[in-house]
Amino acid sequence: MSFVEYGDTIKNGDTAIVFLGHESMFPVKVQHGNVTQTKYGVIRHSTDLIGKKYGSKVTCSKGGWVFILHPTPELWTMNLPHRTQILYSTDISIITMMLELKPGSIVCESGTGSGSLSHALIRTVAPTGHLYTVEFHQQRAEKAREEFREHGVEHLVTVTNQDVCKNGFGVSNIADAVFLDIPSPWEAIGHAKSALKAEGGRICSFSPCIEQVQRTCLAMEEYGFTELNTLEILLRVYNVRTISLQIPDLGKAAEDNSSTGFDSSNPSNQGSPCANLQQGAVQFKSGVPLREMVGHTGYLTFATKSLF
C-alpha cells in the first residue's frame, strides 16, 4: 500500500479507511489477529480485511456493513490524528496550483505538523520529485517519519527536526517552491530564498492573522520577491432542492381552464401545468446555500523569486 500508488488488495500492515458514511469514517492499520470495533459490530482483520479488494463491502458481526477504502491524501486529511491545526483540501488545492507543482518538482515545507499538506505535496511531485519538510517539535517530526514510512512514501520525503528560522531547510538552490506555515514566517524568508533555485521559484506563506501577513510581505519585498498576492479562500456549498412558490391569481388561469374544459379532478390531469396553476403554486429546482459555512481559516500569500 502506498499513498501515491494504488494497490488492489488489502495486505497486512496497510493503512485503510473504514467508511461507515459520508460523515463517519476512520483510519485503521491492518494487522493479523487484530479486530476493530464499530457501531455495526466487530471487523476481524485476518478474515474480513486481509486479501480482500479495496472498495469491498464488509459485513460486521452485528449484521451491519462498511466499505474499506484505499487511502488518499484527501481521505487522510479528513481522518488523520491531529497533532496540530491542519490545512484542508480547499486551501491545499489552491496552494498546489499557485506553487505550480507537478511530478518532479522539489518542494521545501515548514512546519510539517500533522502531515495533511505533506501527503498532498508528495502525491503531486511523485514519482521523481522530493519534499524536504522541517519540523521544530521533535516528537512531531518523529511521528511524521513513522507515518511516511507506514504509508510507503519515505523515499519521496526528508524530515528534518530543526528551527527553520535559524537553520533553514538544510538545502540550497534546488527547490522549485517553498511553503511556510509557522508563527513568524518573515524570519524564514531569507532561508526560503536560499533554498529556491537560482533561476527562480515560488513561495507561499499561510498565516491566520493579517498582522503576520503584513510583516511577511515586507520581508518578501526586502529580499527581492515579486508578484506578491494574498488570498483568502472561502468555500460556499449549495444544496439543490425543489422549491414551491405561490403564484398570484390574476383571474386568467380560471378563465382559460373553463374555456378549454379543463377538469382538475381528472387523475390524468394532475401532473399537467394547468393543474399546478389551478392549485396556485409552481415547483422548480434551485440551488440553496447552506445556512452555515466554514469561515476564515487563514491568508495565503504567494510571491515569486526575482531573477535579479
Residues 110 and 194 both lie in one domain: yes
Does residue 48 have a known ligand-binding role? no
Cross-strand bridge partners of residue 57: 67
- pLDDT for the residue 292: 86
Residues 24 and 107 both lie in one domain: no
Q: Write the CA distances from 218 to 7, 112, 169, 184, 225, integer angstroms.
A: 47, 25, 21, 13, 10
Residues 135 and 218 both lie in one domain: yes
Whether 27 is in a domain gets the answer yes
Exposure on the CB side of residue 48, measured as CA atoms within 13 A: 22
Does residue 163 have a known ligand-binding role? yes
- Of 48, 71, 94, the residue that ends a domain is 71
Cross-strand bridge partners of residue 282: 245
Does residue 306 have a known ligand-binding role? no
Query: How many structural domains comprise the chain?
Result: 2
- Of 71, 96, 124, the residue that ends a domain is 71
Under 8 Å between Cβ of 183 and 177: no
Whether 19 is in a domain gets the answer yes
**For residue 44, what is the domain's CATH number?**
3.10.330.20
**For residue 155, what is the domain's CATH number?**
3.40.50.150
Whether 258 is in a domain gets the answer no
Cα separation, 295 vs 279, in Å, equals: 41
Whether 190 is in a domain gets the answer yes
Cell reading at 179: 511553503
- Provide the 3-class DSSP secondary structure of residue 178: strand
Does residue 74 have a known ligand-binding role? no
Residues 21 and 83 both lie in one domain: no
Under 8 Å between Cβ of 106 and 114: no
Cα separation, 112 vs 66, in Å, equals: 32
- pLDDT for the residue 288: 87
- pLDDT for the residue 277: 47
For 89-139, how does the pLDDT look when each residue is reduced to its tens digit (9 = 90+)? Answer: 999 999 999 999 999 999 999 999 999 999 999 999 999 999 999 999 999
Does residue 111 have a known ligand-binding role? no
Whether 169 is in a domain gets the answer yes
Residues 94 and 209 both lie in one domain: yes
Whether 32 is in a domain gets the answer yes
Residues 81 and 205 both lie in one domain: yes
Does residue 181 have a known ligand-binding role? yes
Whether 1 is in a domain gets the answer no
Q: Residue 242, Cα to own-chain centre: how many angstroms? A: 30
Structural domain of residue 81, as residue ranges?
75-232+296-305
Under 8 Å between Cβ of 49 and 42: no
Cell reading at 31: 494487522
Residues 23 and 160 both lie in one domain: no
Residues 135 and 100 both lie in one domain: yes
Residues 90 and 197 both lie in one domain: yes
Does residue 116 have a known ligand-binding role? yes
What pTM does this model have? Answer: 0.84
Q: Write the CA distances from 48 to 76, 151, 285, integer angstroms.
A: 22, 21, 43
Residues 48 and 135 both lie in one domain: no
User: 214-221 long-range CB contacts below 8 Å, 24 or more apart?
Assistant: 215/184, 215/186, 216/185, 216/186, 216/189, 216/301, 217/301, 218/186, 219/185, 219/186, 219/187, 219/189, 219/190, 220/189, 220/301, 220/303
Q: From the first residue on, what is the mean pLDDT of each consecutive set of 10 residues in the chain (308 residues)?
A: 89 95 92 94 94 95 93 95 94 97 97 96 97 97 96 96 96 97 97 94 97 98 96 92 83 56 55 52 89 89 91
Whether 280 is in a domain gets the answer no
- pLDDT for the residue 271: 52
Residues 89 and 64 both lie in one domain: no
Residues 87 and 111 both lie in one domain: yes
- Of 35, 53, 71, the residue that ends a domain is 71
